[in-house]
Amino acid sequence: MQRSLYISPDKCTGCLQCEMACSFEHEGNFNPAKSRIKVFTFHTEGRFVPYTCTQCDEAWCKSACPTEAITLDAATGAKMVNDGLCVGCKVCTIACPFGTINYNTTTGKVMKCDLCGGDPACAKACPTQAITYIDAEGTGYDKMRTWASRTDTQTAAQA
């Protein structure tokens, strides 16, 4: 069974160890600005929400790519950016309704979560199990998947 990142915002303390682990895995240094996972802070509510790509089935980024630079990793289900093919046109960044594929001004390519080949560094670095990597069935990705389908079907209903 494929596994997914499962995020429990209630357990997040806002330490950003995930962002450091992610940037270290992908960039070789500690640089939250280049992290594929981001923690958003809701100061007046005292909440912290880690957020990254759900590897959604719709794969808006993948279908929008004009150079077939985004492909499916069959083993993990991750949508992968091939830097050799990405021309940096950024069309995927406006197509993804989650805002989870972003342009990296340093490399001139886009970047997104690739599940670290099936062993996500963010989950390993999280000290409170706010981010875990578990069987895809029944994870809290439901909420985000619902969002994905809303972008599709609700708009259809309105049309």
Q: Which residues of this protein are in contact with other proteins, per CB under 8 A?
A: 9, 13-17, 20-21, 23-24, 27-34, 38, 40, 42-49, 51, 60, 63-64, 66-68, 85, 87-103, 105-106, 108, 125, 127-128, 143-144, 147, 150-151, 154-159
Nearer to other proteins, 99 or 138 (CB): 99
CB of residue 11 to other proteins, shortest distance in Å: 10
DSSP for 52-80 reads -----TT-HHHHH-TTS-EEE-TTT--EE
User: How far, in Å, CA of 112 to CA of 52, rounded?
Assistant: 8
CA angle (140 as vertex; 109, 8 as ends), nearest 5: 85
Residue environment code for 79-116, b if the CB has 16+ CB neighbours within 10 A, otherwise e: bbbeeeebeeeeebbebbebebbbbbeeeebbbbbbbb
- For other proteins, the closer CB: 129 or 135: 129
Which C-beta is closer to other proteins: that of 1 or that of 59? Answer: 59
- Smallest gap from residue 117 Cβ to other proteins (A): 17
Q: How far is the CB of 74 from other proteins (least distance, A)?
A: 16
Closer residue to other proteins (CB): 1 or 44: 44
Position 159, amino acid: A
Distance, CA of 37 to CA of 5 (rounded, Å): 11
Is 136 within 8 Å of 1 (Cβ atoms)?
Answer: yes
Task: Give dist(CA 50, CA 31) in Å, integer.
Answer: 16
Least CB distance to other proteins at residue 134 (A): 19
CB of 75 to other proteins, least distance (A): 20
- Which residue, 75 or 85, is less far from other proteins as judged by CB? 85
